[in-house]
Structure 1
Amino acid sequence: MATVVLVNVVLLLTILVHHHNQVQVSASDPDILTDFVVPVPPNTNGTVDVDGSYFTYTGLRSFIGAFPPKFTIFKASVTQLPALEGQSVSYAALVYPPGGSVNPPHTHPRASELLFLLVGSLEVGFVDTGNQLFAQTLQQGDMFVFPKGLVHYQYNKDGKNPAVALSAFGSASPGTVAVPSAVFNASIDESILAASFKTDVGTIKKLEAGLSH
């Protein structure tokens, strides 16, 4: 009887370890078995000739010298540059106009983020799983890391000067979950939101209306 119990325990532990390893593997970009990945169009012989242009992305040219009237993100992920497939890296350029522009609280479920402030100053921060806020005021030339999956933000409170930053991600497709939109624009029942935020449905409707513009 004791032997049967021991065998069952070993089997259970094996299953749990296997499941844990699967979760760990799926939480980051999968490894590739080639130098790089080239999509093969259908109806071909399985080979595609590529040159340097395949590894080049010119979409950030519009970012250089750009000062849009509201917070703007210029992305360079696998969607924009397919050559990033399997490389576990991507970029974003961010422009924060003066006068309170904000990149609202959000998460990147598949990547940590390393932000480098090129111009201006920024108030940045993230909240860990213990609900502790880690905040900092960045000046031009500073860097700040946002751990993977944690809620974070950036805010330019300077009323006269813009801020410009570059962010590097540890995934070709980091993903973004914007907290305000995910909560108030995802068709969650308003009574559930009212109970969750300890307010009334009327207040929830106002928040939803404000985010819809």
Structure 2
Amino acid sequence: MSDFQEERKNLKTDFRFDRLKNAVEQAGGNAQVAGASGIAVSTLSSYMNGAEWKLGVATKIAEACNVSISWLLFGIELADASILPKEKEEAAQQDAANIDCYDEEASAGFGRLGADAPKPQKIAISRKLLHDLGLPAHHTIMLKVAGDSMEPTLKAGDRLLLNTAPSHFLNGITVFVSSGQLMVKRLAPTASGTVRIIADNDRYPTEEADISRFRWGEPDGGDAITIIGRVAYRLQAMS
């Protein structure tokens, strides 16, 4: 081994010991950490002063110091180094938004009759992700695609994130209810006051409806075409 390699090895070891010393100090000192971890003070001192580490013992020390074993052994980015596991968990909970996820399938074929007043489940999703996608958490829901009329854009089994905030624009891929059927299609308004209802799969016909039939809100039957939301993002399985 060259002198340079030995120097690099020692440098990494020093960083590991420095992290341990800092963690022990922040946790109240040698006696406090030794008592919390169930190891002898002499063992802890030897770990801080160059003794070989055993993973099981190091893990107990990390838990007693309220730091992760990965940080203690390998280090993490400086921005995260001061964040303790409990604080990370709290930060993750603050970032999570609970959105409605429906087992209901939006048919990409000729439509399926949905259950009356389907009950959603709650799933947690990152607020930062929603923000990056331009989605307000309180106007975001998730549901699943069935059928093949929107292929290749959407495939059966894809999960869709919908923006349910009402909009004056009737364009883009949209989930709506028509005659009791929950459907996903591409909407395209025309200059003549109608809206084309388009399947991306050319094996399915394009339909057309008067724009006055479209509205946002809760489906109530009749002749209305009730928009549930516009598709903002697709989650697709890779297998």
Confirm or deny a common fold (TM above 0.5).
Answer: no
**Does 1 or 2 have the higher relative contact order (CA < 8 Å, sep 6+)?**
1
Normalised by the length of structure 2, the TM-score is: 0.21
Normalised by the length of structure 1, the TM-score is: 0.23
Which one has a bigger Cα radius of gyration?
2
